[in-house]
Structure 1
Amino acid sequence: MGFYQSETTFDLGEMSVENLFITDFMPSASGTYVKVYLMGLMLSKSSTDGLRMTQKGLASLLNLPIQDVLDAWVYWEKQGIVKLIKTDPGDEPDVEFISVRELYIQSNFTSKMEKPISKPNTKRQTPYKKLYDSVEKVIGQTLSYTLYRDIGDFYDNYYPDATIITKAFEITYKERNIRDIKAVRNLLNKWLELDLKDLTAIETYIKNTNTRYSMYKDVLKTLGIPYRLANEAEMECIDRWLDDYEFSLDTILDLIKAFALKTNSLNFNFLENRFKNLYDQGIKSYSDFTKLESKDKNKPKPNTHKRNQHIVEKHRSYSEEELEALLLNKKE
């Protein structure tokens, strides 16, 4: 396979694009952002004096929403290869294109007085590119345009740390097998709500959470439903039994087994009532429960049924005089 250029008959102009842009920046950017960059670059190289293009005009030229064009310039500015310049607060910014080669040299070479020149890193990595590459490895597929935008949003508005965002994808896509970007966003939101600021705090939380999730699974398995995860209401019940009522997991499982022998309608409402009742009685362990049960069995049960008023006489032997008296009474 090869790539060749045919000879041209007409010269309608051409534009040079730095190879480093194509190799290092273009692969990790969305197609829309690349279109905006290239069209803007062409306009910046135009020989027409005083040519100015509004952002709205550029959007119309590319047949794109104006917001996509504005987002693209913000993205490229964060990559460090353009600079947005505003002369007046109300005016649209001018776009200054920065040489990618110059950025490459500045980031890979230093003065001999400071550091010996080593072999340059030909694959310049930006925070975004590292993040995109690591997420692609986790999910096992090339990122779509939507995923590019969402992941960039996570980095800009959630955690400016590629390792944390990658961790969220690992948990959602691999461990929980939920291949949905919304689940990743919900997980990141939860970490922010819990004020987990770094990967160490997040991993500690995950370890504790995994332990609790294992407990949820054990309870459901004992109830005969091992094929699904506990829902939110069920998790709240189990948390209450563990934290508020202070039952150990072994006690909970043993009590559930004991309750199952006495009823066919074993559900969370029933269990909540029973556990609450035991907690109110000061029962803390399964042994306490068995002692309570044995006491209840030994208590005399009140007989609520009226005794039969008929007296049944036991078999007995009668004398001849007694038998004769009985016969006389019957005849009378």
Structure 2
Amino acid sequence: MNINFSAKTIGVSIASVFLLFYFVGVYWSFAVEPIDIQHEVTSAATADNVAPVIGYTTTTTLIKVASSILDKPGGYLSNDALPPGVFLDNMPSWEFGVLEMVRDMALVLRKDFSRSQSQSLENTHIKKAQPKFNIDNKSWAMPSAESEYRKAIDHLYKYRNALVGISTIKDDHAQFYARADNLTSYLDEIQKRLGSYSQRLSASVGKDKINTDLAGDSVARQSTFEGSHSQLRTSWFQLDNVFYESRGAAWALLHFLKAIEIDFDSVLKNKNATISLQQIIRELEASQQTLWSPMVLNGDGFGMLANHSLVMANYISRANAALIDLNELLRKG
């Protein structure tokens, strides 16, 4: 009797722990709520007793988006070594998508937004912040990914303080230049990023891809030979990872473009490009609709089941096409 009782107790305990991990994992996998940028900027400016200047909104948005992967339920999951985090893959993929967009924004902030011309000095705070976002996102040893991201965010706060003149460091000056050429530099960065996501999402059904790598240049060459056609197909085990990574990237980009709409308002109006940017924002908002299925479906073509990857690819492709048009408008408009 004692043996049976012990075995039963152990079985119930294991089942209880499993259920606990399951429900905690489900909770940690809930979609992250969108950020109210206007509210965050107003709150931050009120707390600091300052008036937002050019660049304040974009910097605040970068801080909040970067913080979102650290402060959401469950915290940062990509480098978890213990259950239930170690068994989750959708949310870590979402985190990586957000992180990729954070890295792009931090890089452009360092190279372009905070500098007026190619010969200008780079801001010391951004110079320290940008490399810290590039640590391996799965690093858990010293230094951990979370600690480096926190340090990067702290440097962004210092840059924002310098923008509005409340830095505690003597002779600490910072600028943010809302110029058309700076904005096109950022759009150049994210165009290729979105193009890559579109290709990976479309590969959920497999397709024969024509090699266009050297198209348009009769004397172009590449390192190794590649055939004129290639067959691309995302592994069944990677479908949900690619989907959630793309969803995370779209979520982050959506907020950055909303911030850009505010900081680059005069530039956009001068180029008559505000409507174009708003159309891109609308496409990205559509990509964040609730996924009602318990899993990412991979229906084929016009079959009976939906293909969520192709739906996401459609929104991202449309946003990317509009980005290309916006970039051309900023350059020539």
Higher-Rg member (1/2)? 1
TM-score (norm 1): 0.20
TM-score (norm 2): 0.20
